[in-house]
Amino acid sequence: MVDVRRVKLPGVGVLHTFVTDDGGKVGVIAHRSGHSDLITFSDHEDGADVTKVSLRLSEDEAHTLAELLGGTQITESLTALDQIPGLSIDWFSVDYEDYIAGQQLGAPGDRGFVGLTVVAVVRGDSANPAPAPDFKVFPGDTLVVAGTPEKVAKAFAFFRTGETVRATTDAPPGG
C-alpha cells in the first residue's frame, strides 16, 4: 500500500504526496477552488538535474485523470455487477419537469415496485446511501436504482410522469 502524506495548506487547500516504487515523488494539490495541481518534485538529495513538472487540472479534468488512473476498477466492478442475470443498476438524473422533483422519494414497494431499491441519491459531491422514504428529491439529484430491468424501467417512467404501470399478474409465465 502506498504511504500518502497529507498536509493542509492554509488558504490554498490540501497537498497529498507519495513516493513511487522507483523513487519518484508525486504530489497533488487539491485547491479549495476545485482545481488541482499534479506535480512531481525532488528533494535536495535528488540532485539538481531532476526534471520537475507541474500541471494544472480543472475539477472535471482531475476526475477524468482519476478515472483513467484507477477509477476504471470501480467501473469494472459495477459492470460485473450489471452482468448478473436479472439485475439492473442504473442512474436517473432528476430534471425540473420530472414528477419526482420536489417530492419525497417514498418506498418503492408502496408505489408498486416490490423488489426495486433506491441504493443512493447523489446530490452535488455527496451521496445519501439508502435514503429513507421521506427523503426529498430535487432537480439535479441522481437516483441510483437496482432491480430487474423491467422494474427499473417502470420506476424511471414513474419518476418522469408520476404514473405507475402495474402488471396484471405476478405469476411466472405459464403459471
pLDDT one-digit tens code per residue, 90-138: 888 899 999 999 999 998 888 888 888 898 898 887 888 889 999 999 9
User: What was the pLDDT predicted at 96?
Assistant: 93
The amino acid present at 65, given as its one-letter code, is L
| Distance between first and last Cα of the chain | 54
Grid cell at residue 46: 535528488
Strand partners, 142: 93, 122
pLDDT one-digit tens code per residue, 46-96: 666 666 777 787 777 777 777 766 654 554 555 555 566 777 788 888 999
User: What was the pLDDT predicted at 133?
Assistant: 92
User: What was the pLDDT predicted at 1?
Assistant: 67
Supply the pTM of this predicted model: 0.50
Q: Identify the CA nearest to 33 among candidates 53, 6, 62, 7.
A: 62
Q: Are 135 and 121 in contact (CB under 8 A)?
A: yes
- Select the more confidently predicted residue: 52 or 144: 144
